[in-house]
Amino acid sequence: MKIIQVCQRFYYGGGQERHVLNISKEFVKHGHEVTIVTSEIGISEEFKKSLKLYGVKVKKLEAYALDEPANQVIFPGLLSYLMKKDFDVIHAHGALCQSSQLALVAAKYKEKPFVFTPHYHPWNVFDNIKTKRVRKYFERMITVPVIVNSSATISVSDYEKKLLPEKYPEIRPDKLKIIPNGVDIEFIKNTSSRQDVRKKYKIPENQRYVLFFGSTTDLRKGIDRAINSFAIVAKKVPQAHLIILGANTDKSVAIKNMIESLGLSGRVTPCGYVPDREKVAFLRMAHVLVSPTIYEAFGIVLAEAMYSKVPVVSTNCGGVPYVLQHGIHGYLVGSYESTNAFAKYTIRLLNDEKLRMKMGEEGHKRVMKEFQWPDIARNILKLYKSLGQ
């Protein structure tokens, strides 16, 4: 089978891109020909070469990035390229993306199956009023028509499958298929050492590490809330240390000033962007992962922490409760603004090794059973084949 995956950016390491990478690798193992069609924005030649080792082809097209509105990437040549390609199925990713629209047009014109994975984030979960307004427009003009006209649309959680038809009655529930995200287990087994990353980022040893993922540019993840919550934790747990991973967090003056104003100097280490191999080492080093996020379609990093036997404290939102259960794999907090609740559960886990280990084991079992990419890729391939019959 000749499969085209379309996504507007690749590879920044976000959840959507990791989804595309991992299913593509698995498809090749099954003997299929896979081409990832993306913009020239963001993909390095070094990474492109590494993909060849897996047999995945990447086609970079000229494109223009617009930070506003809604982080759009404009592809002048995408439709022309897809019209010339021979493919059996085209699979587009990204709810608000022009690239998804154009992929749909190409599939319809060539009378081929079109599968869509929106990795959906509702417009109303964003703080900025201007961003909300623009995203609401793009959701109505791009996301909904693409879902309605798709051969099938993949929801990465049961929440997403339920939410979309409730918001937009024209979306038929039977068009939505639940196939979750996953964890790259083989990659996690091959990582940097904990000692090396501690030394590189000057992280004090013999601490109880609280881990947070989130950049300064995506405030939805809650970097300010994570630090404010940790300020409470630090008073109760003298050995607690917060590690922040995410682009620009090590260079942000605002983050530095916030840490100092809360009296947390020496208790928090913003590491900035870290390569994937180092990220895994941090996961293995962590005692708790904290995610005071406004919304997650799924939350791959939560599943990665669970696989690494790290309990998670996250907001009860979006697809998060599909990934982890309250009191079993960690804790769910009712509101992302509940700083005291995040601190309470973090303190409980840091101070109770037996509980921490039990939840870690349960989280690991859940990932092994439900969120492995080989199983997920097989389910997507079954969907492709059913649409082509």
Domains 2-182+372-388 and 186-370 share a fold: yes
pLDDT score at 188: 66
CA angle at residue 216 from 210 to 219, to 5 degrees?
90
Return the structure tokens found at 367. 């990932």
CA angle at residue 268 from 265 to 270, to 5 degrees?
115
Burial class (CB in 10 A: 0-12, 13-18, 19+), 190: exposed
CA distance 24 to 26: 5
Domain 2-182+372-388 has CATH 3.40.50.2000: yes
For the chain, 389 residues long, give each residue's pLDDT as a single digit of tens: 999 999 998 876 678 888 999 999 999 999 999 999 999 886 555 566 666 667 899 899 999 887 665 578 889 999 999 999 999 999 999 998 999 999 999 999 999 999 999 999 887 776 655 677 888 888 999 999 999 999 999 999 999 999 999 999 999 999 999 999 999 887 666 667 888 899 999 999 999 999 999 877 777 899 999 999 999 999 999 999 999 998 888 888 999 999 999 999 999 999 998 887 888 899 999 999 999 999 999 999 999 999 999 999 999 999 999 999 999 999 999 999 999 999 999 999 999 999 999 999 999 999 999 999 999 999 999 999 999 86
pLDDT score at 41: 80
Return the structure tokens found at 10. 């690749």
Give the β-pairing of 64-66 and 72-74.
antiparallel
Delimit the domains of the chain by residue range: 2-182+372-388, 186-370
Spell out where 70-129 has E strands: 72-74, 89-93, 114-117
Q: Is the peptide bond before 11 cis (omega within 30 degrees of 0)?
A: yes
pLDDT score at 351: 98
Give the β-pairing of 57-61 and 33-39.
parallel
Burial class (CB in 10 A: 0-12, 13-18, 19+), 230: buried
pLDDT score at 42: 65
Are 157 and 298 spatial neighbours (Cβ–Cβ below 8 Å)? yes
CA distance 388 to 104: 16
Classify domain 186-370 at the CATH superfamily level: Glycogen Phosphorylase B; (3.40.50.2000)
pLDDT score at 101: 96
pLDDT score at 163: 93
pLDDT score at 13: 61
